[in-house]
Amino acid sequence: MKIAILSRRASLYSTSRLVEAAKARGHEVRVINPLRCYMNITSHRPSIHYNGEALESYDAVIPRIGASITFYGCAVVRQFEMMGVYPLNESVAITRSRDKLRSLQLLARKGIGLPVTGFAHSPDDIQDVIKMVGGAPLVIKLLEGTQGIGVVLAETEKAAESVIEAFLGLRANILVQEFIGEAGGSDIRCFVVGEKVVAAMKRTGKEGEFRSNLHRGGTAELIRITPEERSTAVRAAKVMGLNVAGVDILRSNHGPVVMEVNSSPGLEGIEQATGKDVAGMIIQFLEKNARPNRTGTRGRG
């Protein structure tokens, strides 16, 4: 197969591992910076150009698109879809998962466990929203935040009011969520490939830090997940329409709750914690599924 990996840097661990895994299985692979792609949007022969050449004859595209370039990156993936190239994750699914509010609403509609979450626009409704999620301590999240940035733990109602007022004063969109104290500053990253959890790790925040992101100094270890956690992760990825996803789950007193579904999950932490060749599993998934014009959302925006 001829595979394109959309990534801004070939040296990134996840990108280089995917290149390595694809080459090891005999495929031709090329890393393409999505921001350097430009497109000819036409009915009869849509095309993508890169460094002065037309990108043609690709069998599959693997989007590794950072949150900061979601809009343009998804436009490039959509153009590949228009050209009949099979995407590992479709543009619509990536856009859906990157919108935190939309993704939570979709998960809730399908009955998937979530932390109690409030969303409001007016400062006049702050106290009601705080009560709605069970009072302090509670978590306040910027809708546009990634990797734990823009996430605040408010330990008292006064602190919560102050932080929410400050964010709303800056015209920022925020979510207010119950704090799952029993999780003890840990979460579980379930790595889903093709409706199967292929690897799982427990992430724990450093001392005094409630966020467990590895980018923020958290640690990871291999964990055995329950059948309910496995089922929750697979269902969450399916609701988003993602073939490959990192589903972040907290163990609460009322069962597993989904914090986030990530459409470009990193490979470094999960491969090192579990010792599994996750990159190889992704390439195997493409081998089984990549066919021309096989995009489920083709033509549906």
Give the gyration radius of the chain's Cα atoms.
20
Average pLDDT, the chain: 90
pLDDT at 240 over 90: yes
pLDDT band for position 150 (cuts 50, 70, 90): confident
**What pLDDT digit, counting tens, does each position of 86-134 carry?**
999 999 999 999 999 999 999 999 999 999 999 988 888 889 999 999 9
**What would the DSSP string read from start to end of 39-67?**
EE--SS--EEEETTEE----SEEEE---G
Q: What is the mean pLDDT of residues 196-200?
A: 96
Out of 3.30.200.20, 3.30.750.200, 3.10.105.10, 3.40.50.20, the CATH code matching 2-89 is 3.40.50.20
| Sequence ranges of the domains in the chain | 2-89, 117-179, 182-263
Q: Which of 103, 42, 74, 55 minimizes the C-alpha distance to 240?
A: 103
For domain 182-263, give the fold: D-amino Acid Aminotransferase; Chain A, domain 1 (3.30.470)
The model's pTM? 0.88
* pLDDT at position 210: 57
Superfamily of domain 117-179 in the CATH hierarchy = ATP-grasp fold, A domain (3.30.1490.20)
Residue 208, pLDDT > 80, answer no
Nearest by Cα to 268 from 231, 220, 227:
220
Residue bearing the bigger pLDDT, 223 or 299: 223
Give whole-number Cα distances, 232 to 110, 118, 177, 276, 286, in Å: 11, 22, 19, 21, 24
Give SS3 for 30.
strand
What per-residue confidence (pLDDT) applies to 301? 39
